[in-house]
Structure 1
Amino acid sequence: MKKNKSTFVKLLKRIKKHSFFIILSLIMAAVTVATTLYVPILVGRGIDCIIGVDNVDFAKIVNILIRIGIFVGITALSQWLMNICNNRITYEVTRDIRNEAIEKIQVLPLKYIDGHSYGEIVSRVIADVDQFADGLLMGFTQFFTGVMTILGTLIFMITINAKITLAVVVITPLSFLVASFIAKKTFSMFKLQSETRGEQTALIDEMIGGQKVVKAYGYEDEAVRKFDEINERLQKYSLKAIFFSSITNPSTRFVNSLVYASVAIVGAFSAINGINGVSAGITVGQLSSFLSYANQYTKPFNEISGVVTELQNAIACAARIFELIEEDPEIPDAKDAKVIDEVDGTVELNDVCFSYVPDKKLIENFNLHVKKGQRIAIVGPTGCGKTTVINLLMRFYDVNSGSIDVSGTDIRQMTRKSLRQGFGMVLQETWLKSGTIRENIVMGKPDATEEEIIAAAKAAHSYGFIKRMSNGFDTVIGEDGGSLSQGQKQLLCITRIMLAKPPMLILDEATSSIDTRTEIKIQNAFAKLMEGRTSFIVAHRLSTIQSADVILVMKDGHIIEQGNHEELLAKNGFYHKLYYSQFDTAAQN
């Protein structure tokens, strides 16, 4: 319950920004309730005008009907304005929350993204916010008017007959007790429902994204089995949540029916006594108004019980969204962080230690000194830390101890933006955004001219297939390259780096999906691009790094050999084994 209250407080802080529309909504709600509740009084007076034989005051009835029409019109107008205000508040709050969520994702450390499935994060930002919006809208629309209706009917009933009103008030707390008891049960179920829905979205995202692999390995049945298991749990939690929430309304209706019956019985006796002259009772018209008020008084309890159910669901969803928004961001740039506009290409790693998991060591006491313009190749078996070194250089992760200096400055004392602008990356895993081919190519240099774009495409050998496409550089491609082949996608990523021409390069299996003939051409283009630029090359195919100035051979997070291609072969060590395992298996024996 503490978490529930905390979430509600956070929500109120965000709603407070829209105080103008909240006040206007409250005013319109008050007008709606006041005019709605005044109509039964007019109806009661009209009934009193037709009680008795030959005692119908038509002139008065017409006047009452005109007034009823006016007040109904005012009610309709105020309710329309109130709904506009409520919609605006709801959708501006949800817009702000989604913006906060997306902004937080941009500054979250990569370890958070790596530690959560993409589908689960998407579920929080999309599905949970939608559920939250539905509950919030119902809360604004029905909660305010419901509370005001209850207060308003009590005031109007007291003016008619205080004793009958007392009977109504005495029974009312039962409705609150019933609703409160059931609300506690529903929150936990809605929370489990929301979490399981996120799990389901994550599985769907994973299976659709890897559909080719799923089919290739005949994983369909296992995927369906996992989905069915999650779906069964979602069904169980949803049914329980719906069951508890659905008994709220009938339970409160039962209590409210007791209120209505009490008013009818007490009011009827009072009216009879008044007619017989036994006591100063109420008129039949007043009894009619009282019964109308009793019905209007109890109706909000049914609506509020429904609102409470929706709010339980909304708060459960909001809690998950706020968990994401309140995650610790990556360590911010130091207040005195430097903006390095130009880097000279020198890189030093001094006694660097790093591990993704505290109790599982990966890189220990790593030292490396790179001069300007050197080509550094990093090779080694899978899991030895090659890509981790790249992550540390780009400061996607911070070192546990030691330091990394670029151009003589510790990268923790540089702004991340200026550090990353100094590097250009081509990774084995390509990434292209939805948009035109041109928009994807110019990401690193938005002000590039047409001539520069064409020159970069020709250097990367992507110009040929781009010109064959329907609209050339203005061809729109879908998410992650759409229907482009893996090789074409990688060529576009290489074109992007050829255009940007950053002072330092990182090539992580940059030509892994390209045919051998095109790869040789691109390697020549890369050779020209790397002239005078510090370059880090991660490769499994050792044929691609023979011309590197320095080859680092890594194993278990340590540099075990270092030198150029000829020197390492002459040592007849681990690199010698790696090299000949690819080119001459017999040479190992």
Structure 2
Amino acid sequence: MSELKSAEEKAAEERRGPAGARRGGPPHAQLGMPTEKSQDFVPSAKRVLGLLRPDRAVVAGSLVLALVSVVLNAIGPKILGRATDLVFAGVFSRQIPAGVTQEQAVEGLRAQGRGTVADVLAAMDHVVPGQGIDFGAVGRVLLVVLAIYVVAAGLQLVQGRLLTTAVNRTVFRLRRDVEDKLNRLPLPYFDAQPRGELLSRVTNDIDNVAQSLQQTLSQLVTSLLTVVAMIAMMLYISPLLAVIALVTIPVTMVVTAAIGKRSQGHFVQQWKSTGQVNAVVEETFTGHELVKVFGRRAEADREFAERNDALYDASFKAQFISGVIMPTLMFIGNLNYVAIAVVGGLRVASGSMSLGDVQAFIQYSRQFTQPLTQVASMANLMQSGVASAERVFEVLDAPEQEPDSGTPARIDDPRGRVAFEDVSFSYTPEKPLIEHLDLVVEPGQTVAIVGPTGAGKTTLVNLVMRFYELDGGRITLDGRDIRELTRHDLRSRTGMVLQDTWLFAGTIHDNIAYGRPGATEEEILEAARATYVDRFVHSLPDGYDTLLNAEADNISAGERQLITIARAFLADPSLLILDEATSSVDTRTELLVQHAMAALRSDRTSFVIAHRLSTIRDADLILVMEDGRIVERGSHAELLAAGGAFARLHAAQFAGAVADPDDETAAGPGAPGAPGAPALAGPRG
């Protein structure tokens, strides 16, 4: 949408720099910004796990329960193999005549040339010739196994509950830390971030971190403990078969690492693209009127399609590549299963192992490969969660605003005297804006600031509010350097009404009361009556209880501005800043508001930024700014008599002269196109 900018606006942006200049600009003005290179997976994963440190006791308890549960699950197959041996021994026992011992039966089989069967019989326990299967013994073994599995399942349930508690507490703290961090970040940080991108980081990315921790942490711990337990049991039963089974570990690690490395970059890009899509959607809907007025819907759709295609491409590659892990490892596991079954069968035939041990070993091998497969299948979730965590960490690691003084000064008798002493400021070092500015505003004075777009008018009052830090010089309030005051103390003494109204979703009453917590009902109504809010509120069905939506666009722009003025009136500040505060009201309402503003400004130091010169006739001092410098100062009458920049601006507004701004010879000294004449209109400076 950058084509929408005029040459004047672009020049103004160059003067203003990257900060307030882009506030309120056209949609998509900040998209396509380069993002920082993502961190490595391992350091980021360690940092994510470090978030669990405050709940380490809960996590440790869940690990103990997981360990006991895994041990019980590991014992189960070995005991169950005992039942298989009892059944198998019973089958052989029935085929041996009663009165013949096991040793005699073995010798008889060898004499018949059936050495393999003899070896199998010789390795058996609990052989009772002629008796058959001992179902009582089998039943007791099965009951023991059932009890073991029930206890293990109960422990897993408690362990899952504990870990869920720890994860949710961790995410709660993460959200809280991000919220606190946002409140400590300087205004330039937000000027450099598309709102949709930032919203995506503090909502979508944190949700994804929570989901990844919730789904992977418990399963990951259980799976790793299971692998260790299965390896121990396999080594206990048969070192040879254990070696065959363990061959899959390095193969699994190599495959997982290779595929995970390829997918990590795509997961990072997936969440970056998600933020960019959100930025396009949020900014397009915020500026949908502008998009439609300038016929840019097709361009907005095309930009959304490009971002959406990039998101589709990154998501597809990330999910597809990481999804290859599980079927690959299942194939490796199946090959391992075949090898164990063949070698195990040969060992049973040779009498080296019992059938129950082979059955137990096969169960262990499946339980061994299954958690490895689960860990591999969780790789996409872990990669995605870590990629989102990196984006959240970038917010948490962003440089914060300078801290307040450790021993802040206090103003015991606030009067509102403001002094600029050799002040210099620039948004970017290579483009100076304000240089060596000196200005003194006495208590109770009303100072109007006028000038072309980008002259530095709004910047001047933003410096008073410490939204930005000075490059040189200082600003004092009642003789105190504002850097010696806490920001809260400084801003609590200041009321501000902006050209861009800000109202929150709530009632009109609550929006006015926001100016001073604890104000009485009568004080709120008095502020509303003084600023003529009361006049239009009674025409609404619900009066002061009328609910405003998130954008407050269910009332007119002028009504929104009157509510913000009422809020400033209620705050009763000692320093008042009005930035085009009546730009959205009609002429008649403006006259009424002027009377309210006069009452509001009484006994207060006021800065008034205005393009409409009719609103500043009664100002005690008018400053004319150009390129960050004060080129003229004086009263309304003095500046008109001087015939300088203010006089030209005044003539341009009230004489109604029209000329080609590129034709300097055709413009008179008071015309808009005259050399040095400021722009007639445009965004606030």
Amino acid at match of 1:142: Q
Q: Give the conservation status (yes or no) of the 8 Å contact 1:175–1:256.
A: no
Give the corresponding residue for 2:27: none
Q: CA separation of 1:568/1:193 partners in 2, compared to 1, >3 Å: closer, same or farther?
A: same
Q: Distance in 2 between matches of 1:449 and 1:129?
A: 40
**What is aligned with 1:137?**
214
Alignment match, 1:583: 654
- Structure-2 residue corresponding to 1:282: 353
- Contact 1:345–1:533 at 8 Å: present in 2 too? yes
Task: Answer whether contact 1:341 1:418 (CA < 8 A) is retained.
Answer: no
- Give ranges in structure 2 of 5+ residues lacking alignment: 1-37, 95-131, 658-667, 672-685
Match of 1:238 among 271, 291, 315: 315
Which among 524, 527, 540 is matched to residue 453 of structure 1?
A: 524
- Select the structure of larger CA radius of gyration: 2
Corresponding residue of 2:52: 15
Greater alpha carbon shift after TM alignment, 83-92 vs 397-406: 83-92
Alignment match, 1:277: none
Kindly tell me: are residues 34 and 135 of structure 1, through their superposed partners in 2, closer, same or farther at Cα, counting changes over 3 Å? same
Stretch of structure 1 that moved more, 37-46 or 326-335: 37-46
1:258 is aligned, of 311, 335, 343, to 335
Offset at residue 396 of structure 1 (A): 0.2
Alignment pair present for 1:359 and 2:430: yes
Q: How does 1:476-491 map to 2 (within 5 A)?
A: 476-491=547-562
TM-score (norm 1): 0.96
User: 2:618, 2:76 → 1: CA distance?
Assistant: 91
Would the alpha carbon gap of residues 250 and 457 (structure 1) be closer, same or farther in structure 2, given more than 3 Å must change? same
Shift of 1:495: 0.7
Aligned to 2:676: none
What is the aligned-residue RMSD (CA, Å)? 1.5
Which residue number in structure 1 is paired with residue 481 of structure 2? 410
CA distance, structure 2, for counterparts of residue 413 and residue 480 of structure 1: 36
Residue 38 (structure 1) shift: 2.2
- The alpha carbon displacement at 1:536 in A equals 0.4
The aligned residue for residue 177 of structure 2 is 100
Q: Which runs of 4+ in 1 moved over 4 A?
A: none
Is 1:166 the equivalent of 2:243? yes
- Does the CA contact (< 8 Å) of 2:39 and 2:390 recur in 1? no
**Is this contact kept in 2: 1:108–1:330, CA < 8 A?**
yes
Unaligned runs of 5+ in 1: 275-280
| Higher percent of residues as helix | 1
Write the letter of the residue equivalent to 2:142: L
| Structure 1 residue 23: Cα displacement | 1.1
**How big is the shift at 1:126?**
0.7
Does the CA contact (< 8 Å) of 2:208 and 2:388 recur in 1? yes
Deviating more after overlay: 174-183 vs 560-569: 174-183
Do the aligned residues in 2 keep the contact of 1:379 with 1:553 (CA within 8 Å)? yes
Pick closer, same or farther for the CA change 1:506–1:453 going to 2, 3 Å: same
Identify which range, 359-368 or 377-386, moves more after superposition: 359-368
Partner of 1:37: 74
Following the alignment from structure 1 to structure 2, what is the Cα–Cα distance between the partners of residues 6 and 175? Answer: 22
Of 389-398 and 431-440, more deviation after overlay is shown by 431-440
3-state SS, counterpart of residue 409 of structure 2: coil
Shift of 1:217: 1.7
Q: Structure 1 residues 81 and 470 mapped into 2: Cα distance closer, same or farther (>3 Å)?
A: farther
Instruction: Write the mapping of 1:301-450 to structure 2, written as runs, cut at 5 A.
Output: 301-340=372-411, 342-450=413-521
Deviation at 1:342, TM superposition (A): 4.5
Give the secondary-structure state (helix, strand or coil) at the position aligned to 2:247. Answer: helix
Deviations for 1:498-529, whole angstroms, at most 9, x for unmatched residues?
A: 11111111000001111111110110111112
Is the 1:378–1:551 contact (alpha carbons within 8 Å) kept by the matching residues of 2? yes
CA distance in 1, matches of 2:504, 2:410: 28
C-alpha distance after superposition, 1:299-349 (max 9, x if no partner): 011011122332111111111100101111111112122133542111100
- The residue correspondences of 1:540-555 to structure 2 (distance < 5 A) are 540-555=611-626
The answer on whether the counterparts of 1:462 and 1:495 sit within 8 Å (CA) in structure 2 is yes
8 Å CA contact retained: 2:212, 2:381: yes
Q: Cα–Cα, structure 1 residues 186 and 354, in superposed 2: closer, same or farther, change >3 Å?
A: same
2:584 aligns to what? Answer: 513
Tell me, in whole angstroms, the C-alpha distance in 2 between the residues paired with 1:464 and 1:75.
71
Identity %: 37
Compute the displacement of 1:37 (Å). Answer: 2.1
SS in 1 for 2:578: strand
Aligned counterparts of 2:142 and 2:540: Cα–Cα separation in 1: 72
CA contact (8 A) 2:424 2:473 kept: yes
Residue in structure 1 matched with residue 24 of structure 2 by the alignment: none
Q: CA deviation at 1:287?
A: 1.1
More moved, 135-144 vs 410-419: 135-144
Contact map agreement 1:337 1:415 (CA 8 A) in 2? yes
How many Å separate the matches in 2 of 1:485 and 1:45?
82
CA contact 1:172–1:259 (8 Å) conserved in 2:
no
Cα distance in 1, alignment partners of residues 39 and 395 from structure 2: 18
Match of 2:545 in 1: 474
Q: Distance in 2 between matches of 1:172 and 1:578?
A: 80
Task: Summarize the Cα distance change of 1:38–1:191 in structure 2 as closer, same or farther, 3 Å threshold.
Answer: same
Counterpart CA distance in 2 for 1:34 and 1:464 is: 76
Partner of 1:156: 233
Whole-angstrom CA distance in 2 between matches of 1:342 and 1:307? 64
Residue 88 in structure 1 maps to residue 165 in structure 2: yes
In 2, Cα distance between equivalents of 1:6 and 1:294: 32
Please give the TM-score of this superposition, normalised by the length of structure 2. Answer: 0.83
Alignment deviations for residues 421-459 of structure 1 (CA, whole Å, 9 cap, x no partner):
111000000101122222211222111111111110001
Aligned pairs (5 A) from 1:568-579:
568-579=639-650
1:175-186 map, 5 Å: 175-186=252-263
8 Å CA contact 1:340, 1:418 repeated in 2 = no
How far apart in 2 are the matches of 1:239 and 1:8? 23
SS class of match (1:254):
helix
Question: In structure 2, do the counterparts of structure 1 residues 300 and 470 end up closer, same or farther at CA, with 3 Å as the change threshold?
Answer: same
